[in-house]
Structure 1
Amino acid sequence: MKKIKSYNIIIPSLLLLFSSCSKDFLKEDPKSSLTPETFYKTSNDLNMAAIALYTQVNGAFNQSAGFSTLWGGDDMTVARAGNKISYSDFDTYQATSSNDRMTNWWSYFYSTIKSSNALINNYTNATEASEADRNHAAGQAYFFRALSYFFLTRTWGEVPLITDNTVDYNRAKATPSDIYTLIVADLQKAETMLPDAWDGTKRQNGVDIPPTAGSAKALLANVYLTMAGWPLKQTDKYALAAAKAKEVIDNKATWGYDLTTNYADLWKKEGKFNHETVFGCYYNVNVSGWAWENYNMLTPNAYAPDDEGGWGDGYGEINFYKKFPPGPRKEATYQSVYYINNDPTKAVDWTGTMRKHPYFFKFRDDDAFNQSNHVNNNWIGSHTVPVIRYAEVLLTYAEAQAMSAAPDATAYNAINLVRNRAGLSNLVAGLSQSAFRDSVIAERGWEFAGAEPAGRWYDLIRTETVSKANSDRDASEEPLKNIPDDAAHTFYWAPIPIGDQQLNPNL
Structure 2
Amino acid sequence: MKIFKKYYRIMMVLPIFLVTACAGDFLEETPKASLTPENFYQSANDLELAQAALSWKLNGAFNTVSGLYYGADDLTSKRLGNKIEFSDFDVFNANSSNGRMTAWWNSFYGAIKAANTLIANYENATEASEEQRNNAAGHAYFIRAISYFYLTRTWGEVPMPIEAIVDLERPNAKVEDIYALIVDDLKKSEAMLPDHWSGKAHQNGVDIFPTNGSAKALLANVYLTMAGWPLNQVDKYALAAQKAKEVIDNKDTWGYKLQANFEDIWMIDNKENSEAVFACYYNNTVSEWNWENGTMMGPNPFAPSEEGGWEDGYGEITFYNNFPDGPRKEATYQEAYYKGNDPDDVISWQETAASHPFFLKYRDDYSYDWSTHTPNNWWGSMTTFIIRYPEVLLTYAEAQAMASGPDATTYDAINQVRQRAGLADLEQGLSQTDFVDAVIMERGWEFAAEVGIRWFDLIRTETVAKANSQRAISEVSLLGEPSDVNHTYYWAPLPEIK
TM tier, shorter chain?
over 0.9
Match runs of 1:389-404 below 5 Å: 389-404=388-403
> Is it true that 1:251 corresponds to 2:260 in the alignment?
no
Q: How does 1:56-135 map to 2 (within 5 A)?
A: 56-64=57-65, 67-135=66-134
Unaligned ranges ≥5, structure 2 = 13-22
d(CA) in 2 for partners of 1:186 and 1:270? 34
Moved more, 397-406 or 342-351: 342-351
Deviates more, 1:430-439 or 1:288-297: 288-297
Q: Which amino acid aligns with 1:301?
A: N
- Alignment of 1:266 with 2:265, yes or no, is yes
Structure 2 counterparts to residues 183-202 of structure 1, below 5 A? 183-202=182-201
Query: 1:489: which partner in 2?
Result: 487
Contact 2:88/2:94 (8 A) holds in 1: yes
Aligned structure 1 segments of 4 or more residues deviating by more than 6 angstroms: 3-6, 12-17
Which whole-Å CA distance do the structure 2 matches of 1:191 and 1:459 have between them?
24
The within-5 A match list for 1:397-412 is 397-412=396-411
Contact 2:11–2:52, Cα closer than 8 Å, also in 1: no
Q: Does the CA-based 8 Å contact 1:9-1:36 persist in structure 2?
A: no
- 2 CA distance for matches of 1:412 and 1:11? 46
| Distance of 1:6 and 1:398 partners within structure 2 | 46
Q: Secondary structure at the match of 1:121?
A: helix
Q: TM-score, normalized by length of structure 1?
A: 0.93
Aligned partner of 2:421 in structure 1 is: 422
Q: Which amino acid aligns with 1:469?
A: A
Distance (whole Å) between structure 1 residues aligned to residue 88 and residue 10 of structure 2: 37
Contact 1:5 1:111 in 2 (8 A): no
> Retained in 2: the 8 A contact 1:6–1:115?
no
The 2-side partners of 1:84 and 1:5 are apart by 37
Please give the root-mean-square deviation of Cα atoms over the aligned residues, in Å. 1.9
Cα distance in 1 for residues equivalent to 2:363 and 2:423: 24
CA gap of 1:454–1:69, structure 2 versus 1, over 3 A, is closer
**Aligned match of 2:464 in 449, 463, 466?**
466
Does residue 1:477 correspond to 2:478, yes or no?
no
SS of match in other structure, 1:388: strand
Pair 232,203 (structure 1): closer, same or farther in 2 beyond 3 Å: same
Q: Quote the Cα distance in structure 1 between the aligned partners of 2:425 and 2:461.
A: 24
Find the counterpart in structure 2 of residue 144 from structure 1.
143
SS across alignment from 2:371: coil
Corresponding residue SS for 1:57: helix
Residue matched to 2:16: none
Aligned pairs for 1:337-348 within 5 A: 337-348=336-347
**2: distance between equivalents of 1:294 and 1:384?**
11
Distance 1:269 1:167, change over 3 A: closer
Does the Cα contact within 8 Å between 1:307 and 1:339 map onto a contact in 2?
Answer: yes
CA distance in 2, matches of 1:20, 1:459: 46
Q: 1:36 Cα shift?
A: 2.9
Name the SS for the 1:423 alignment partner: coil
C-alpha distance 34-173 of structure 1, shift in aligned 2 (>3 A): same
Cross-structure match for 1:19: 28
- Inter-CA distance 42–351: structure 2 relative to 1 (3 Å threshold): same
Q: 1:114 to 1:406 in 2, by over 3 A?
A: same
Which moves more between the two structures, 301-310 or 159-168? 159-168
Q: Is contact 1:6-1:114 (8 Å) kept?
A: no
* Aligned residues of 1:392 and 1:444 also touching (Cα < 8 A): yes
Question: Which letter maps to 1:8?
Answer: Y
8 Å contact 1:8–1:53 — kept in the other structure? no
Alpha-carbon distance in structure 2 between the residues aligned to 1:15 and 1:173 = 42
| Aligned length in residues | 487
The Cα shift of 1:20 comes to 5.9
SS in 2 for 1:490: coil
1:317-328 matches, within 5 Å, as 317-328=316-327
3-state SS of 2:302 partner: coil
* Aligned partner letter, 2:55: Y
SS at match of 1:89: helix
**1:17, 1:32 within 8 Å by CA — same for their partners in 2?**
no
- Higher mean displacement: 96-105 or 294-303: 294-303
Q: Tell me the residue number matched to 1:286.
A: 285
In structure 1, C-alpha distance between the alignment counterparts of 2:325 and 2:4, rounded to whole Å: 45
By how many angstroms is 1:166 displaced?
Answer: 3.5
CA shift, 1:17, in A, is: 8.8
Q: Distance in 2 between matches of 1:104 and 1:167?
A: 16
CA distance in 2, matches of 1:48, 1:106: 23
Fraction of identical pairs, as percent: 60
1:331 corresponds to 2:340: no
Residues 169-225 of structure 1: CA deviation (Å, up to 9, x unaligned):
541001110000000000001011111011111111111111111011000000000
Q: Is this contact kept in 1: 2:59–2:293, CA < 8 A?
A: yes
C-alpha separation in 1, matches of 2:440 and 2:231? 18
Question: Which residue of structure 2 lines up, in the alignment, with residue 351 of structure 1?
Answer: 350
Residue deviations 1:121-176 (CA, integer Å, cap 9, x gap) = 11111111100110111011000000100000011111001100335454100111
In the TM superposition, 1:219-230 aligns within 5 A as 219-230=218-229
Name the aligned partner's letter for residue 349 of structure 2: W
Note the alpha carbon deviations across 1:13-51, whole angstroms, 9 max, x for none. Answer: 998994269xxxxxxx9x854333542111111111111
Partner in structure 2 of residue 298 of structure 1 = 297
Query: Per-residue deviation at 1:373?
Result: 1.1
SS in 2 for 1:336: coil
Q: Deviations over 1:286-308 (max 9, x none)?
A: 22231221112111111111111
Q: CA 1:351/1:51 → structure 2, altered by over 3 Å: closer, same or farther?
A: same
Of the three residues 423, 440, 451, the one matched with 1:453 is 451
Compared with structure 1, are the counterparts of its residues 36 and 424 closer, same or farther at alpha carbon in structure 2 (3 Å cutoff)? same
Q: Is the 8 A contact 2:113 2:166 kept in 1?
A: no
* Letter matched to residue 45 of structure 2: N
Residue-by-residue CA offset, 1:351-390 (whole Å, 9 max, x unaligned): 0000000000011011111111101111111111111000
Separation (CA, whole Å) in 1 of partners of 2:464 and 2:11: 44
Hey, what's the Cα distance between the residues in 2 that align with 1:446 and 1:17? 45
Q: Which moved more, 1:368-377 or 1:238-247?
A: 368-377
| 3-state SS of 1:386 partner | strand
Indicate the residue corresponding to 1:48 in structure 2.
49
Q: Secondary structure at the match of 1:122?
A: helix
